[in-house]
Amino acid sequence: MYRPLLVCLSIFCSLTMAVHGHALIQNPDARNQQSLNGDWHIIVDPYENGFYNHRYEEKPNGYFKDAKMQHPSDLIEYNFSASPTLRVPGDWNSQKESLFFYEGTIWYRKAFESKKQNGKRYILYFDAVNYEAIVYLNGEKLGRHEGGFTAFQFDATKALKKGMNTLVVKVNNRRERDFIPTVNTDWWNYGGITRPVRLLEVPQDYLADYTVKLQNDKIAFHAVSSSQKKNQTIRLHIPELGINEKYSTDGEGKVTAILKAKPELWTPENPKRYSLTVSLNGEKIKDNIGFRDIAIRNGDILLNGKPVFLKGISIHEEAPTREGRAWTEEDARTTLTWAKELGCNFIRLAHYPHNEAMLKVADEMGLLVWSEIPVYWTVLFEREDVYAKAEQQLEEMIERDKNRASIILWSVANETPNHQVRLAFLKKLVKKARQLDNSRLITAAMDTQTDNGGSKIIDDPLAGEVDVIGVNSYCGWYGGTPQSCASLHWLSPYNKPVIISEFGGGALKGLHGEVNERWTEEYQAAVYEHNLTMISKMDFVRGTTPWILKDFRSPRRPLPVIQDYWNRKGVLSEKGERKLAWKILHDFYENLTSSE
Ligand code: GCU
């Protein structure tokens, strides 16, 4: 049966939601909300049974309907209430041994009570689901989201009932060639509802978005009402700066204002944040925002006008003290405390946007951040629809985190093959990033290193497109001996800051031996020692984020006894134990600090 009406309806429906609701509500933590975290019933569905045999809206007992037997003769071949549960948030791989390697669909169901009020709007907000989510509330499809590391929302006002509700989410983490990232990555494909789920309760016309930032020594304030109606009153209150202003929205529901103020500037040494409130229609949104400026000049990175050297470390989003994806504030505090103990003022959040707690804690602790979308290795650069996915994830990353002082760099790619189609794809992405946020620097990690008579030259044309050049170089691990790195000579034809965004080597914590023996802590320490010597001789380098803080899970690292599906390049073991290389890096940063 051909259903033109239904197709048109669903297109119209998604457009109206996008038009009426803002793409992503700003600062969900600060909203009235009902948490939907906890135990959800699940059905593991590797053959897509729930989708093909029960999906069609006219079929009475699709999984999404959470149908119950009404008569003894009813045929319903599933039962969420009798099914096992998974904790939400949380990847499924680390919760059940049987799901450690699982890639496919799992259906989740949460029954919850709502005290729905008339005149309020209800937004169902997912902090992240990896990789694809299709969301049904009380049997009604709210929509679909693709992308494992960025937040998304649906307006649930119409479908939500007062009393009991049934929320069903189809989650599929199967890797596909035309996804972002594509099928090959050096990290674990943790599937599931990996970050919090909440039902936000906001006014009918709510404060959809706001930006508060330092701009030419003044404070720039932008805000948008969800209804995009004019003459709505939006207030900005920053008590410590004596700011208490009210504004009337324009014909698009927007407010744009520039305020004179001399805030104390945010720095890693003094991460000063200002408590502020933005309000509309009785909703008061509290936030803590730091004011700082980041720029480049003559090859330097300037923080608040002063050159800064970025003493960094790369970090994957894995829990510091348990298996699986990190997502809690405590996870963020532990991980970022480890970075601080190492002597860092900078972190590279690889290779995808991390959970929001990481950015809010980085703001609080004073760590500068490189944030990145997973345009990783060999995505399908020739496909327009794949570009659209990358751009969507870029937008969702910037929308969520644009008020975080800690973030100074948006990265559009990691180690992508150097060819024309890729360059065109990434030039478009860089341009989009600048349009979305002209207050931060744009970068990408490249494995460009062409030998030129004993020197390494940075000659990837992408370097000409970004503000700061990221270079991944594995001298002493994927080529050469550790000792050979110290005398490596590098050339850069660009008058731009360079960050060595990856170097390192693997070691099994507790394995000791000769310095030329792979997988020993001594070998890894030698890789660090000689690469740091190399870096200190590269006069255009303005920072480094060695690979990586902690050992992390990877399906590409099966070596028994040594790796056992762990990538062992951490300076910390998976239990947080320091390896010999940790002290090499710590002392290097400590000496840099004392010479600053
Ligand atoms: C690459 C890549 C990382 C990977 C690392 C490694 O540079 O960017 O994601 O984990 O090398 O080989 O360990």
Ligand 1 centroid, distance to 507 Cα (angstroms): 15
Cβ neighbours around 72 below 10 Å, total: 5
Give me the amino acid identity at 398: I
The answer to whether the bond into 2 is cis (omega within 30° of 0) is no
Pull the structure tokens for residue 347.
């972190």
For ligand 1, atom 10: residue with the closest CA: 186
Task: Return the CATH architecture of domain 28-202.
Answer: Sandwich (2.60)
Percent of the chain at pLDDT > 70 equals 95
Contact assessment for residue 384 and residue 192, using Cβ atoms and an 8 Å cutoff: no
**Residue 298: enclosing H or E segment and its boundaries?**
none
Q: Which of 415, 545, 551, 568 most suits a substitution to test ligand 1, by most atoms within 8 Å of the C-beta? A: 415
End-to-end C-alpha distance for the chain, whole angstroms: 72
User: Considering the entire predicted model, what is its pTM?
Assistant: 0.95
Contact assessment for residue 91 and residue 192, using Cβ atoms and an 8 Å cutoff: yes
Ligand 1 centroid, distance to 566 Cα (angstroms): 12
Residues contacting ligand 1 via CB (< 6 Å): 186, 351, 414-415, 472, 502, 547, 567, 569
How high is the pLDDT of residue 60? 60
pLDDT at 1 over 50: no
Task: Return the CATH architecture of domain 311-595.
Answer: Alpha-Beta Barrel (3.20)
d(C-alpha 251, C-alpha 234), whole Å:
14
How high is the pLDDT of residue 59? 54
Query: In the predicted model, what is the mean pLDDT of residues 490-499?
Result: 96
How high is the pLDDT of residue 557? 98
Q: What is the pLDDT of residues 565-590, one digit of tens each?
A: 999 999 999 999 999 999 999 999 99
Report H helices in 328-438: 329-341, 356-365, 384-401, 420-436
Q: Which of 111, 283, 141 is nearest to 201 (CA)?
A: 283
How high is the pLDDT of residue 452? 79
Residue-wise DSSP of 456-500 = EE---GGGGTSSEEEEE--BTTTBS-HHHHTT-EEE--SSS-EEE
Q: What is the pLDDT of residues 355-378, one digit of tens each?
A: 999 999 999 999 999 999 999 999
Identify the CATH number of the domain defined by range 207-292.
2.60.40.10
Q: What is the pLDDT of residues 281-291, one digit of tens each?
A: 999 999 999 99
How high is the pLDDT of residue 54? 54
pLDDT at 53 over 90: no
Give me the amino acid identity at 12: F
How high is the pLDDT of residue 451? 81
For every residue of 82-139, which 3-state class applies, written as one string?
HCCEEEECCCCCCCCHHHCCCCCEEEEEEEEEECCCCCEEEEEEECCCECEEEEEECC
The structural domains of the chain, with segments of one domain joined by +, span 28-202, 207-292, 311-595
